[in-house]
């Protein structure tokens, strides 16, 4: 037995829950398999005393726990017993068994029943089961139902293949700007955070607010820039940010910690997004509450983001006028960033002179020097010799054009090799 109170279509009377044994075991297995024939046979036999609105307590079913692991957030371990309730409608909707779902609905299953804290429509959206979403909505499922965790179905469309689920919800008048209860996210925040370009485009078409701020003060653009992602997903997040920016999103919107999109993109070492923001006028030297600029953020992330090519971010920031690191701090940067010599190269090439000492040699592990011998030998040799005249000329010109380097170079017809040299092209050696 269990008593459930809360939101949605939940009976205020105690709900009888069934243990999965006897006839209920057969019913349960048929639902898990999407066996429409067996489900119909069970429901047609009054002796089974089983209905489309049966409520199962799955707390002690390992097979169900393993399946549900992929669909719900991890909860803190607790000594208290916690019921996990589900119904035939929820089981079939979450697994995409459209025929079985239709049978249950035709047999009188309550479409908005939510004994476990969410409706079958929530389940279908989380599983990106488009046909099930369409069917549930056609039977009157509430597109604005709020789950126990404070989510509406629209907020659970987090997978790339859930785009048609969003279409169905919006066509059935789901509110495009509805918020989650704890995070205060809109569906656009969710789509941007998961790098879902098609979702973002569709939501914008239906009037999603570009500058809506969540509990952390993030706009959807902030959310997209802040989300950690793998190298193979960098293009996806770039396209999302590009779409948001081209739709008018503010590139200098600050969250509660005064983190701007550029700070966040640099923390995630996404050079494409950083260059997009810089090209649109992002403030390259603005500080967050911690006193960090975008350059600080990428240098702090370098050792953990080698596969993201953080050197491209460092070079872009320097070319857009980032205030350089105080020369006395370069040794500390070397200690943290030596595994990415190109970051050190870009920084070193932004100064006409840096005092290199024996401490620099000791800051780089021998195995790293062995991996990049040409670069580190050229770096350490600067203790005994000055930089080349060619490099000094580059520094002089970059200093003269500071703040307008890219604008001026774009108007000059320079040889491509010279153009790249002035913009700190990588040579894996210092002259």
The CATH number of residue 30's host domain is 1.25.40.20
Answer yes or no: is 36 within a domain.
yes
Distant-in-sequence, close-in-space partners of 416: CB < 8 Å, separation ≥ 6: none
Look at residue 192 in the predicted model and tell me its pLDDT: 98
CB atoms within 10 A of CB 229: 17
144 burial class (0-12, 13-18, 19+ CB within 10 angstroms)?
middle
Answer yes or no: is 352 within a domain.
no
Angle 217-220-225 from CA coordinates, rounded to 5°? 90
Answer yes or no: is 97 within a domain.
yes
Answer yes or no: is 123 within a domain.
yes
- Predicted confidence band of residue 58 (pLDDT cuts 50, 70, 90): confident
Which residues span the domain enclosing 19? 1-70+83-154
SS3 at position 17: strand
- In 71-119, which ranges are continuous DSSP H helix? 88-95, 98-106
CA distances, 195 to each of 159, 187, 188, 191, 412 (Å): 10, 12, 10, 6, 37
Residue 12 has pLDDT above 50, yes or no: no
Answer yes or no: is 228 within a domain.
no
Residue-averaged pLDDT of the chain: 90
Answer yes or no: is 178 within a domain.
no
CA distances, 10 to each of 114, 119, 152, 335 (Å): 6, 10, 16, 59
Distance of CA 59 to the CA centre of its chain: 31
Residue 86: φ, ψ to 5°: -145, 165
Answer yes or no: is 104 within a domain.
yes
Q: How far apart are CA 264 and CA 284, in angstroms?
A: 12
Residue 147 has pLDDT above 50, yes or no: yes
User: Considering its fold, how many domains does the chain have in total?
Assistant: 1
* 251-272 per-position pLDDT tens digit: 999 999 999 999 999 999 999 9
Answer yes or no: is 348 within a domain.
no
- In 206-283, which ranges are continuous DSSP H helix? 220-226, 234-246, 261-267, 271-279
Look at residue 424 in the predicted model and tell me its pLDDT: 97
* 111-120 per-position pLDDT tens digit: 999 998 999 9
- Predicted confidence band of residue 23 (pLDDT cuts 50, 70, 90): confident
């Amino acid at each position: 037995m269990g008593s459930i109170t809360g939101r949605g279509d939940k009976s205020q009377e105690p709900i009888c829950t069934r243990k999965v044994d006897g006839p209920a075991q057969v019913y349960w297995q048929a639902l898990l398999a999407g066996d429409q024939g067996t489900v119909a046979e069970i429901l047609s036999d009054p002796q089974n005393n089983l209905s489309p609105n049966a409520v199962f307590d799955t707390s002690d079913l390992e097979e169900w726990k393993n399946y549900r692991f992929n669909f719900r957030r991890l909860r803190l371990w607790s000594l208290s017993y916690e019921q996990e309730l589900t119904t035939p409608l929820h089981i079939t909707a979450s697994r995409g068994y459209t025929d079985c779902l239709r049978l249950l609905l035709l047999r009188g299953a309550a479409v908005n029943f939510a004994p476990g804290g969410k409706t079958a429509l929530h389940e279908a959206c989380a599983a990106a089961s488009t046909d099930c979403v369409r069917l549930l909505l056609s039977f009157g499922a509430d597109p604005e139902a709020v789950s126990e965790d404070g989510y509406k179905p629209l907020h659970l469309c987090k997978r790339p293949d859930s785009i048609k689920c969003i279409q169905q919800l919006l066509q059935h008048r789901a509110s495009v700007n509805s918020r989650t209860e704890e995070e205060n996210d809109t569906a656009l925040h969710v789509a941007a955070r998961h790098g879902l370009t098609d979702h973002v485009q569709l939501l914008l078409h239906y009037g999603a607010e570009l500058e809506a701020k969540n509990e952390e003060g993030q706009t959807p653009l902030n959310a997209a820039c802040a989300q950690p992602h793998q190298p193979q997903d960098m293009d996806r997040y770039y396209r999302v940010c590009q779409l948001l920016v081209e739709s008018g999103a503010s590139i200098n919107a600050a969250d509660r910690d005064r983190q701007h999109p550029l700070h966040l993109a640099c923390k995630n070492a996404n050079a494409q997004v950083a260059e997009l923001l810089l090209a649109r006028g992002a403030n390259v030297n603005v500080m967050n509450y911690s006193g960090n600029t975008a350059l600080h953020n990428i240098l702090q992330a370098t050792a953990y983001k080698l596969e993201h090519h953080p050197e491209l971010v460092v070079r872009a920031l320097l070319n857009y006028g980032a205030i350089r690191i105080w020369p006395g701090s370069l040794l500390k940067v070397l200690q943290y960033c030596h595994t990415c010599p190109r970051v050190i190269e870009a920084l070193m090439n932004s100064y006409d002179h840096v005092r290199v000492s024996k401490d620099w040699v000791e800051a780089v592990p021998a195995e790293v020097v062995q991996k990049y011998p040409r670069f580190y030998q050229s770096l350490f040799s600067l203790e005994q010799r000055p930089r080349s005249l060619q490099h000094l000329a580059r520094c002089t010109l970059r200093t003269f054009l500071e703040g307008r380097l890219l604008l001026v170079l774009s108007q000059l017809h320079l040889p491509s090799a010279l153009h790249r040299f002035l913009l700190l092209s990588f040579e894996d050696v210092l002259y």
